């Protein structure tokens, strides 16, 4: 009960990538980079175990960005043909590569880090992949010429990798779909179908992470425009409740999401964010336990998994480390109080 986990990413060591930023350039190349990624993955596991995180991840130490880490292994994309698009309904401008032909995988995407992580922890292991709608919102497209068709093509590739990750011994496969909070009509029309296609045939646990983004300036500015109550989840959760996805990871601490909206996820496991990744202020275990107690008025503790609001990739490492400890200690405190 109240087993804790993280959304997915942790900051990278400064010898691996430039610190405190998203999309940080690697500081090594070739075999040195490959070795450094392995070392960083082991450190990420150790830090989570020491912080009493129950369901751990590879910390996403082997990918530069959560979407582009997947795209690197996809054929049918021209990385030299970069176009500027406004992603997440024009919240940011980004220079993105272009899909120019039928998509297929050019081999395994995450085999090395998944097998390494599996070999070095006995805890349950979660692995994150970008969701099909979010990928389709983060590339240019000169081939499919339809968002749903593009997303479905990515869903097929995601499914191939997800099935292979399951065979590697991964216990939970999570798809990150921040775009779900932006394109509410499309979620209903084709987003859930694409997500379910990505998860097709998996017998391990499946999860979807839907957040309001990393704590970067463009996101903070966007959040200012969302009003006093954020009710995007009100549209999405009933659709997810009917889907085949088992777990939903969502943002809670310091967000303007009314907590009662979690009731719409009846029957699902709820990975509720009790750690804010948009501030360097470190929560105390007491604060974490208090929020868990509040959430458990809406979600039965057997289905509640304390989590971070989002990935911690852009944070300073000591801050992320302290927040991990607060998450582990706060969850343990909440468990003792409920027992």
Interface contacts to Zn ion, rule CB under 5 A: 211, 310
By beta-carbon proximity to Zn ion, the closer residue of 168 and 283 is 283
Closest separation in Å from C-beta 91 to Zn ion: 14
Closest separation in Å from C-beta 134 to Zn ion: 10
By beta-carbon proximity to Zn ion, the closer residue of 208 and 310 is 310
Say how far apart CA 224 and CA 203 lie, in whole Å: 40
Closest separation in Å from C-beta 310 to Zn ion: 3
Say how far apart CA 155 and CA 158 lie, in whole Å: 5
By beta-carbon proximity to Zn ion, the closer residue of 211 and 270 is 211
Closest separation in Å from C-beta 249 to Zn ion: 8
Which residues have a Cβ under 8 Å from the Cβ of 150 and sit 6 or more positions away? 99, 136, 139, 141, 144
Which residues have a Cβ under 8 Å from the Cβ of 113 and sit 6 or more positions away? 37, 38, 41, 58, 61, 62
With beta carbons less than 8 A apart as the criterion, state whether 177 and 135 touch. no
Say how far apart CA 235 and CA 181 lie, in whole Å: 9
Q: What angle do CA 32, 33, 35 make, to 5 degrees?
A: 65
With beta carbons less than 8 A apart as the criterion, state whether 300 and 266 touch. no
Closest separation in Å from C-beta 15 to Zn ion: 26
Output the six-digit token pair for 65. Answer: 């960005």
Which residues have a Cβ under 8 Å from the Cβ of 174 and sit 6 or more positions away? 8, 126, 127, 128, 129, 206, 207, 208, 209, 247, 249
Q: How far is CA 212 from the centre of its chain?
A: 11
By beta-carbon proximity to Zn ion, the closer residue of 176 and 283 is 176
By beta-carbon proximity to Zn ion, the closer residue of 179 and 310 is 310
Closest separation in Å from C-beta 173 to Zn ion: 16
Closest separation in Å from C-beta 30 to Zn ion: 31
Closest separation in Å from C-beta 95 to Zn ion: 22
- Alpha helix locations (H) across the chain? 30-50, 68-71, 87-90, 111-120, 132-136, 147-167, 184-186, 192-198, 217-224, 232-241, 285-295, 317-338
By beta-carbon proximity to Zn ion, the closer residue of 60 and 168 is 60
By beta-carbon proximity to Zn ion, the closer residue of 187 and 310 is 310
By beta-carbon proximity to Zn ion, the closer residue of 103 and 320 is 320
Say how far apart CA 92 and CA 137 lie, in whole Å: 11
Output the six-digit token pair for 178. Answer: 């921040």
By beta-carbon proximity to Zn ion, the closer residue of 195 and 211 is 211
Which residues have a Cβ under 8 Å from the Cβ of 334 and sit 6 or more positions away? 2, 288, 289, 292, 293, 296, 306
Closest separation in Å from C-beta 84 to Zn ion: 23
């Amino acid at each position: 009960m109240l087993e804790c986990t993280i959304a997915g990413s942790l900051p990278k060591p400064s010898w691996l990538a430039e610190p405190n930023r998203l999309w940080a350039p690697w500081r090594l190349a070739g075999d040195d980079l490959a070795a450094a990624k392995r070392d960083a993955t082991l450190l990420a596991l150790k830090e989570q175990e020491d912080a009493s995180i129950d369901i751990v991840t590879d910390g996403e130490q082997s990918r530069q960005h959560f979407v582009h880490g997947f795209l690197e292994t996809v054929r049918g994309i021209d990385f030299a043909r970069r176009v500027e698009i406004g992603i997440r309904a024009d919240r940011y401008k980004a220079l993105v590569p272009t899909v120019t032909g039928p998509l297929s995988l050019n081999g395994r995407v995450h085999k090395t880090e998944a097998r390494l992580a599996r070999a070095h922890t006995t805890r349950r292991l979660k692995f994150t992949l970008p969701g099909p709608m979010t990928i389709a919102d983060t590339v240019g497209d000169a081939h499919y010429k339809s968002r749903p068709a593009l997303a479905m093509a990515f869903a097929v590739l995601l499914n191939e990798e997800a099935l292979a990750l399951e065979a590697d011994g991964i216990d939970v496969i999570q798809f990150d779909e921040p775009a779900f909070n932006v394109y509410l009509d499309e979620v209903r029309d084709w987003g859930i179908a694409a997500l379910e296609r990505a998860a097709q045939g998996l017998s391990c646990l499946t999860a979807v992470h839907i957040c309001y983004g990393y704590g970067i300036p463009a996101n903070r500015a966007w959040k200012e425009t969302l009003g006093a109550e954020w009710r995007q989840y009100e549209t999405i959760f009933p659709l997810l409740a009917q889907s085949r996805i088992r777990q939903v990871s969502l943002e809670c601490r310091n967000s303007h999401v009314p907590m009662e909206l979690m009731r719409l996820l009846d029957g699902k496991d709820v990975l509720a964010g009790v750690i804010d990744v948009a501030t360097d202020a470190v929560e105390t275990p007491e604060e974490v336990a208090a929020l868990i107690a509040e959430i458990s008025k809406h979600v039965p503790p057997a289905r509640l998994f304390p989590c971070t609001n989002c990935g911690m990739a852009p944070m300073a490492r000591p801050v992320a480390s302290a927040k991990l400890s607060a998450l582990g200690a706060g969850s343990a405190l909440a468990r003792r109080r409920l027992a």
